Structure 1
Amino acid sequence: MKIVGVGCGPGMLTPEAATVIAGASLVYGSARAIALARDAIAPGSEVHEIEDYRSLRSLPAHAVVLSTGDPMLAGLGYLPGEVVPGISSLQVAFARLKVPLARAAVVSAHGKDHARAIAEAREEVARGRVVFLVADPAFDVGALAAALPPETRLAVCEDLGYPTERIAVGTAAEPPVPRGDLFVVVAGEF
């Protein structure tokens, strides 16, 4: 099986990913991943929206599994098979904010213990790293802000790569507030 990153937004599908997808006869992905890759999917390909992520390990060897962003950043890269990277929300957020990737500390709060993620983010900011926090819709940016020194810069990056993209920057004392469900948070000195 191949796990293919389709990018975090429209127009971010790499040529390598598009070639792999175009050659696939069996494609699985979330509704969002399928939409991002739609133009690369060959007519007549069998396309399935993923309903049970646990069953992905049992797909046939010729299956292509689409992963939003990059499969190795809170994606489906844990599955067996070859991984074709994609353009991640980390790359896009740091490019928009002009933060070098070498300063990044990745923290995932997506479907995980938010209190633990906040504690980890606080530790990384204290070390001088710029935290890239993968959030889920229930993540409380205010709780993160309360755990950080008030002068810490915070950015809420929403809908990266989409026409509705929004990046709001503030501080822990006056944190930006997400407007939707598809967002990441950048925290630190940037």
Structure 2
Amino acid sequence: MKIVGVGCGPGMLTAEAASVIACATLVYGSARAIALARDAIPPGSEVYEIKDYRGLRSLPDHAVVLSTGDPMLAGLGYLPGDVVPGISSLQVAFARLKVPLARAAVVSAHGKDHARAIAEAREEVIRGKVVFLIADPAFDVGALAAALMAQTRVAVCEDLGYPAERIAVGTAAQPPAPRGDLFVVVAGEF
């Protein structure tokens, strides 16, 4: 099996990923991942939207599983098989904000305990890291901001790579609010 990162937005499919997908006869992915890779999927391939993520481990060896962004950043990289990296929301957000990736500390709050993620993010900011927080639609940016020092910079990065991309930067005292469901948060001194 191959787990292929399709990038976090349109036009972010790497040449390697496109090459692997172009040879696929059996493709699985979320609706969003399939849409991002649609032009690379060859005609006649069997394409299935993933309905049950628990069943992915039992796919045949020739299956190609599409993962939005990069499979190793809160993606499907845990599956058995070869991983083809993709352009992640971390790479795009830090590039847009001009923050070196070496300063990053990744914290996932996606489908996880938000209070615990906020505490972890706070500790990383105190250590001098710039936190890249993977949020879910229910994540409260205000609660994160309340846990940080007032002057700490906070950015909400939405729809990265899409035409409606929006990056709003504020401080913990006046944090930006997300407008939609597809967002990440960057916090720290940047």
TM-score when scaled to structure 2? 1.00
CA distance in 2, matches of 1:135, 1:22: 32
* Corresponding residue number in structure 2 for 1:68: 68
Deviation, 1:27, is 0.1
Structure 2 counterpart SS, 1:90: helix
2:52 maps to 1:52: yes
1:77-116 equivalences in 2 (<5 Å): 77-116=77-116
Deviation, 1:95, is 0.1
CA distance in 2, matches of 1:54, 1:24: 22
Deviation, 1:56, is 0.2
For residues 63-122 of structure 1, the C-alpha deviation after alignment (integer angstroms, 9 at most, x for no partner) is: 000000000000000000000000000000000000000000000000101000000000
CA distance in 2, matches of 1:110, 1:65: 20
Cα RMSD for the two superposed structures: 0.2
2:9 maps to 1:9: yes
Deviation, 1:24, is 0.4
What 5-or-longer segments of structure 1 have no aligned partner? none
Matched residues, number: 190
Deviation, 1:28, is 0.1
2:184 maps to 1:188: no
* Corresponding residue number in structure 1 for 2:169: 169
* Corresponding residue number in structure 2 for 1:37: 37
Structure 1 counterpart SS, 2:154: strand
**AA paired with 1:105?**
A
CA distance in 2, matches of 1:156, 1:33: 22
Structure 2 counterpart SS, 1:24: coil
**Percent identity at matched positions?**
89
Deviation, 1:155, is 0.2
* Corresponding residue number in structure 2 for 1:126: 126
For residues 145-188 of structure 1, the C-alpha deviation after alignment (integer angstroms, 9 at most, x for no partner) is: 00000100000000000000000000000000000000000000
Structure 2 counterpart SS, 1:38: helix
What 5-or-longer segments of structure 2 have no aligned partner? none
Structure 2 counterpart SS, 1:133: strand
CA distance in 1, matches of 2:79, 2:48: 17
* Corresponding residue number in structure 1 for 2:144: 144
Structure 1 stretches of 4+ moved >2 Å: none
